[in-house]
Amino acid sequence: MPEPVSSIPNLGPASEAAFARVGITSAEALRALGADEAYRRLLEGGSRPHFIGYYVLVMGLQGRPWNDCKGEEKKALRKRFDALCAGFNRSDARLRADVERMLSFLGVVERG
């Protein structure tokens, strides 16, 4: 049986629900995607970018406490986060998610 997303350190029910909305329903799937791809999918699904949420995810996938990210490592993660979020704004991401939901509802595409 697959492990729930919330079995990853730092991730709880809210994270589990957010990832489920974009089709990531197990800890194994999340680990296989990695932090950047999983977070990109959250953004595409309409989630609002939030740096703390991103680095909490990165730390959790490394098995580290969320507040273990400091100094130069945190600065480097901020650069990764900014690059990942470039081109996403909340309305664009929400529009993409709405269009995808509608196409799925109509049976045009399969939501995976």
Q: Domain range for residue 46?
A: 5-106
In a domain, 24, yes or no: yes
Q: What is the CATH number of the domain that holds 53?
A: 1.10.150.20
**What is the CA angle 76-30-89, rounded to 5?**
55
State pLDDT tens for residues 10-55.
999 999 999 999 999 999 999 999 999 999 999 988 888 899 999 9
In a domain, 111, yes or no: no
Distance CA 51, CA 102 (A): 29
In a domain, 94, yes or no: yes
pTM listed for this prediction: 0.77
Q: Provide the domain count of the chain.
A: 1
User: What pLDDT sits at residue 88?
Assistant: 73
In a domain, 63, yes or no: yes
Distance CA 102, CA 109 (A): 9
In a domain, 92, yes or no: yes
The residue whose two tokens read 């049986």 is 1
User: What pLDDT sits at residue 46?
Assistant: 85
In a domain, 112, yes or no: no
